Structure 1
């Protein structure tokens, strides 16, 4: 493996297990760092150590703990110890060798100058972190592919059920329809209350709530299912009244002019929408990324070769997942295609939000925000 400038990088990759410690790691010291590595069960995110051996191969001169969500296109450095620049260069080369789009670096011990010297850009600090997920105050990213992706604010949902509202609020903040200081828990719960199907936000109800909140923003709901959705896990008596609410949402959509497209939304169409500077709220299952089949809303807002870039308002603290994972998260198109195909009848639900309009014409410049 090699650095961008062609300097050879010798490295080895070994699995990381919280109950054991490779011999080379202990000699690097920084026991408080390695204790953090073992504080949670990271096994679901393929933890491994990328280490740089000494010239004689007998010891390690540097090491980094690296993890990532399954079926994504990035690696995350939790920490690096020893010769930190060498460790980070080895991780970058390791990621390039896998054809990944991105390397992230949690800012537990890494400072801005160290990260910048390694080619990383500091991420905007989160406005809020999701419930129970206490990640680092800082984080860094280095893109390994062509294309620029603008960075929206990161806001973690404050409940287990407000993901749909948060994705819409973040989209509208990036579009300039909402001031950043207005993106808070009050806005989160207010929009959820208007969109909820108790407790989930189904696609039509979410689209209607977005249009009500921002009448100048064009909204289209995409749902290729002709039945109420997200109800299968409820007993029949609970399904009945929630189904009535979903029918009411369809009536509301027709009355206020929110189209409901019954065709299957392709990932190519999602890319096209992003190219038009639109935002796509996409309903996914967390089974592939987190290991449990729970419906969840994410925001698609960027595209790079081979992957779409999403904002996930939730981080799985139990697996060592933080806002650094969830923010500017690249997911390969085939993986996202599978994640967003739900239930036995394999439906897809999404809400597309266009750029805010002024006087009936889409604006060229977003409002200040």
Structure 2
């Protein structure tokens, strides 16, 4: 175990190791909470304990289990036990010290009153949630800089290949073009079917499908290559027909007036678009976050719906 690290608030940070319970943590009680912490493999999410020392200088007065996806801009409190306000304050101070954007708090045991007293606001409940979902019913967030962002509805994709379609649907719902009530599996699979390059969506095909579904929604594709994308991992004999479908998508885009901008969309351009209230759809590599090489995920940046593009890597700030 590495040495504890001092934070700006009087607290210590120690790694969270599956199957091991530090003696000071065990003395805080709430055995059922600690057992839940160990019931899930959290190794890919930088799990650590943020603890507040007790008055005796040896034990802990409070502790929080904290996680976060790698290369992202937040910390997440799974639970806090002991002097909960002190533990949460220590986590927030740690996030501020790292200049992070937000702290989230899973709603296992946090009440709305306790969360509000610590400066957190409720996250909107998911539009849908699978029956076997193992997470808490709700959660909370505290933004640390830049004001409070307008939260889009959260819809969890029901397949591993409909991320692009779901991202576009969520953007439309956030913009008010699509009602939350119609954000369901039928809408997910319908848009995916219109946009897919089998099995996932490619940027131009997704933009064409969005324009066809919502003719009044302006959409621009930023794609810094004229070659087919997202097909390199397929066998060579399967790349040809997918490339043909992408050429067809480009022809469709030209016919219905979907611009394809060949310039690389920089982070500054993304910030500017978000500042103008536009929606930016990004395809990000999952190698950096959950450490899944060869996988990608669609994410919505914010604002009014605008471009879909291929990105070689970005940080999930949700």
Provide TM-score, normalisation by structure 1.
0.79
Q: How far off its partner does 1:177 sit?
A: 0.4
User: Is 1:237 matched with 2:237?
Assistant: yes
In 1, Cα distance between equivalents of 2:83 and 2:243: 59
Q: 1:50 to 1:337 in 2, by over 3 A?
A: farther
Name the counterpart of 2:221.
221
CA contact (8 A) 1:152 1:170 kept: yes
Q: How far off its partner does 1:72 sit?
A: 1.0
In 2, Cα distance between equivalents of 1:49 and 1:202: 40
User: Is 1:66 matched with 2:66?
Assistant: yes
Name the counterpart of 1:339.
313
Name the counterpart of 2:275.
275
SS at match of 2:140: strand
CA RMSD of aligned residues (A): 2.1
In 2, Cα distance between equivalents of 1:30 and 1:301: 39
Alignment of 1:1-369 (within 5 A): 9-129=9-129, 134-293=134-293, 294-301=295-302, 339-340=313-314
Q: How far off its partner does 1:134 sit?
A: 3.2
Q: 1:49 to 1:31 in 2, by over 3 A?
A: same
In 1, Cα distance between equivalents of 2:211 and 2:151: 24
Question: CA-to-partner distance for each residue in 1:88-134, whole Å, 9 max, x for gaps?
Answer: 11111111122211111000111101100111111111112479753
In 2, Cα distance between equivalents of 1:190 and 1:131: 22
Question: CA-to-partner distance for each residue in 1:319-364, whole Å, 9 max, x for gaps?
Answer: xxxxxxxxxxxxxxxxx976149xxxxxxxxxxxxxxxxxxxxxxx
CA contact (8 A) 2:273 2:280 kept: yes
In 2, Cα distance between equivalents of 1:76 and 1:131: 24
CA contact (8 A) 2:282 2:311 kept: no
Q: How far off its partner does 1:147 sit?
A: 2.8
CA contact (8 A) 1:130 1:157 kept: no
SS at match of 1:219: coil
Question: CA-to-partner distance for each residue in 1:263-293, whole Å, 9 max, x for gaps?
Answer: 1111111111112211011111111111012
Q: How far off its partner does 1:200 sit?
A: 1.1
SS at match of 2:21: coil
In 1, Cα distance between equivalents of 2:312 and 2:190: 31
CA contact (8 A) 1:79 1:106 kept: yes
In structure 2, the gaps of 5 or more residues are 304-309
Question: CA-to-partner distance for each residue in 1:160-201, whole Å, 9 max, x for gaps?
Answer: 011001100110011110111011111000000000001010
Provide TM-score, normalisation by structure 2.
0.91
In 1, Cα distance between equivalents of 2:225 and 2:181: 37
CA contact (8 A) 1:220 1:259 kept: yes
CA contact (8 A) 2:283 2:311 kept: no
Q: How far off its partner does 1:149 sit?
A: 1.1
In structure 1, the gaps of 5 or more residues are 303-335, 342-369
Report how many aligned residue pairs link the two structures: 304
Question: CA-to-partner distance for each residue in 1:136-156, whole Å, 9 max, x for gaps?
Answer: 111001111133311111111
Question: CA-to-partner distance for each residue in 1:199-247, whole Å, 9 max, x for gaps?
Answer: 0100000000000010000011111111111111111111111111111
Structure number with the bigger relative contact order (C-alpha 8 A, sep ≥ 6) is 1
